[in-house]
Amino acid sequence: MPEPTPEPDAAAPPPSAGIAPEATGAPPSARAAVLPSAAGPSTPGPGAAGAVGPSTPGPGAADAVGSWATPEFAAEAGRVVETYWPLVEPLAAALAPGVEVVLHDLSKLPNSVVAIAGGLSGRTVGAPATDLGLRLLMQDDPPESIVGYRTELPGGIVCRSSTIFLRGDHERPVAALCLNRDITRLTQARDLLSELIDTPAVSGHDREETFYDSVENLTDDLLRRAIGATGVDVADMSKSDKTRVVKDLEQRGFFLIKESVELAARTLGVSRYTIYNYLNE
């Protein structure tokens, strides 16, 4: 799967004045814009100038290109477009705000956009296919769909885009239904939340922090951790083990607590003077 380009298959708002439907059977009263059957190339939308075909077609690619011009292909494309055309504007309205729906008639390449609603990319009916769409169509077996890929529009608009290829009764896609959702603000919100909840490492410090409801719980926990770090029961500890415990307690700030020396001595079964000796070693 090629990496999606910054140019989405996003679309533009339908023209305010209705354009005569083509012979695909699109209802004359429909509100989404439809490309007239005799329409020539129109002014491309944003980014359309970058649409290019593959430089080296793969096996079978030449046949695929030729099939787009056959009467059979055009007839099937017209039938499929007629079926999906009424969905374009209702889908855009149902998924609004910030969603654009585009219908491509692939028999009309390169100016394949025949219906568009939602208005994100600035394109109009008659705009060309995107470079990604052309690359996918040049594959021997184009995918049924690609869903949820990231695209970017001029002006910093970020979209989550999906392309659904429609084959009808033809072996290759004859049309494509594309959806582009503006996720710019969602992306900004995610970045802001990430910034607010990020907990970067603090060099040289343990990032764990425990909250206690009493000094007794604090000292008990510090003793438990220091003793547990040796892996030896207090009754079986050697002088070396007890020295390690005292040094560990010192690093944990245990001896900043009032009467902590006496507490450590009782826990380890030694005198308070022995604790001082361990600290001085």
Residue 129 and residue 260 in one domain = no
Residue 254 and residue 151 in one domain = no
- 199 within a domain of the structure (yes/no): no
Residue 124 and residue 234 in one domain = no
Q: How many domains does the chain fold into?
A: 2
Write out pLDDT tens, residues 53-98. 322 233 333 344 444 558 889 999 999 999 999 999 999 999 999 9
- When mean pLDDT is compared over 33-47, 100-114, 185-199, the highest value belongs to 100-114
Residue 75 and residue 178 in one domain = yes
- 43 within a domain of the structure (yes/no): no
Residue 170 and residue 57 in one domain = yes
pLDDT at 230: 94
pLDDT at 207: 59
- 40 within a domain of the structure (yes/no): no
Write out pLDDT tens, residues 226-253. 999 999 999 999 999 999 999 999 999 9
- 30 within a domain of the structure (yes/no): no
- 110 within a domain of the structure (yes/no): yes
- 252 within a domain of the structure (yes/no): yes
Residue 57 and residue 175 in one domain = yes
Q: What is the domain-level CATH number for residue 133?
A: 3.30.450.20
Residue 180 and residue 260 in one domain = no
Write out pLDDT tens, residues 148-203. 999 988 788 899 999 999 998 888 899 999 999 999 999 999 999 988 887 766 55
The domain boundary, picked from 187, 205, 231, lies at 187
| 8/172: higher pLDDT | 172
Residue 249: give the domain boundaries.
215-280
Residue 178 and residue 259 in one domain = no
- 260 within a domain of the structure (yes/no): yes
Q: Sign of dihedral through CA atoms 256, 258, 261, 263?
A: negative
Residue 110 and residue 231 in one domain = no
pLDDT at 4 over 80: no
pLDDT at 66: 40
Out of 56-60, 118-122, 124-128, 153-157, least confident range: 56-60
- 25 within a domain of the structure (yes/no): no
Please state the pTM of the whole predicted model: 0.53
Residue 146 and residue 267 in one domain = no
Residue 72 and residue 151 in one domain = yes
Residue 183 and residue 219 in one domain = no
